[in-house]
Amino acid sequence: MAFEFRLPDLGEGIREAQVLTWKVRPGQAISAFDALCEVESAKAAVELTTPVAGTVVETRFSEGDVAQLGDILVVIETANGAAAAEKEEWFGIVGTAPMPAAKPPGGENRVRAAPLVRKLARERGIDLERVTGSGPQGRIRVEDLDLLGRAQPPDNGVPESDRREVPKVSAAADGPSTVVPLRGLRKSIADHMLQAWHHAPQVTSMDFLDVTELVRARELLKVSAGAEAVKLTYLPFFVKAAIEALRAVPEANATLDEAQQAIVLKSEYHIGIATAVSGGLVVPVIRNADRLTLVEVAREIDRLVSAAREQRAEPKDLVGSTFTITSFGGLPGSAIFATPILNYPEVAILGLGRIDWQPRVIDGAVVPRQCIGASFTFDHRVLDGEGAGRFTAALKRFVEQPLELLMKLR
Cα–Cα distance, 63 to 78 (Å, whole number):
24
285 pairs with which residues across the strands? 272
Cα–Cα distance, 301 to 142 (Å, whole number):
43
239: left (phi over 0), alpha (psi -120 to 50) or beta: alpha
| 380 annotated active-site | yes
**How far from 46 is each of 12, 90, 102, 280, 305, CA to CA, in Å?**
13, 19, 34, 17, 17
Phi and psi angles of residue 363, each rounded to the nearest 5 degrees, phi first:
55, 40
Phi and psi angles of residue 226, each rounded to the nearest 5 degrees, phi first:
-60, -35
51: nearest Cα among 98, 101, 121, 107: 98
Total Cβ atoms within 10 A of residue 292: 22
DSSP state of 220: H
SS3 label, residue 212: helix
Cis peptide bond upstream of 159, omega within 30: no
Q: Which of 192, 198, 199, 380 is catalytic?
A: 380
Sheet holding 54-59, edge to edge: 2-6, 72-77, 54-59, 29-30
Contact in structure between 48 and 36 (CB atoms under 8 Å): yes
Q: Rg (Cα) of the chain, in Å, rounded?
A: 27
Cα–Cα distance, 383 to 380 (Å, whole number):
5
Half-sphere exposure of 108 (CA within 13 A, CB side): 4
SS3 label, residue 271: strand
Cα–Cα distance, 349 to 76 (Å, whole number):
48
Beta strands in 180-270 (DSSP E): 202-210, 254-257, 262-265
Cα–Cα distance, 265 to 256 (Å, whole number):
9
Known catalytic residues? 380
